[in-house]
Amino acid sequence: MSIKKNEKTVCNTTIIHEDILQKVKQEMTDDAILFDMAAEFKVLSDPTRLKIINALLLSEMCVCDIAALLNMSQPAISHHLKSLRQTRLIKYRRDGKIAYYSLDDEHIKIMFSQCATHVTE
C-alpha cells in the first residue's frame, strides 16, 4: 500500500496499549544517562572534533601534530580537545611539557565505526 503525498501518516485511534506502555516505561533509559548521551552527541556533532577522533583512532598525538594535520591553530585545536576531554571521549598523558592525546576507551572506536558504517550504507 503506497501513501500519497497529501495523505497524513498519523495514528487515528485513541487506544492505549497499557501492556506495551508499562513494559516500555520500565525499560526506558534513565534521564541522567540520556542527558549525558545528548551531551556526547552534541560534542560529536562538530566535523573538526570527528576529525580529531578519527586521527586519534590511528595514533596518540600531541596538540602540535593535530594542528598540523588539520591545518588549524593550536588554540583552536586545544578548544576542541577540551570539549572532547570534558565528555570523557579522549584522555591525555604528560611526557615532560608535552601532552599526548588518545581515545579514552574502546567504546569511542566502536561508536565512530558504527556511525561511519551507518552513514555509508
- Cα–Cα distance, 48 to 25 (Å, whole number): 37
Positive or negative: CA dihedral 65, 71, 74, 75: negative
Q: In a structure prediction context, what are the per-residue pLDDT tens digits for the chain, which is 121 residues long?
A: 455 555 666 767 778 889 999 999 999 999 999 999 999 999 999 999 999 999 999 999 999 999 999 999 999 999 999 999 999 999 999 999 999 999 999 999 999 999 999 999 9
Helix axes 47-58, 74-86, angle to 10 degrees: 80
C-alpha cell at 63: 596538540
Residue 64 CA: distances (Å) to CA of 4, 21, 104: 55, 52, 20
**pLDDT confidence of residue 81:** 97
pLDDT at 14: 79
At 9 the pLDDT is: 67
pLDDT at site 22: 93
Question: Which amino acid is residue 18, in one-letter code?
Answer: E
Q: What is the pTM of this model?
A: 0.81
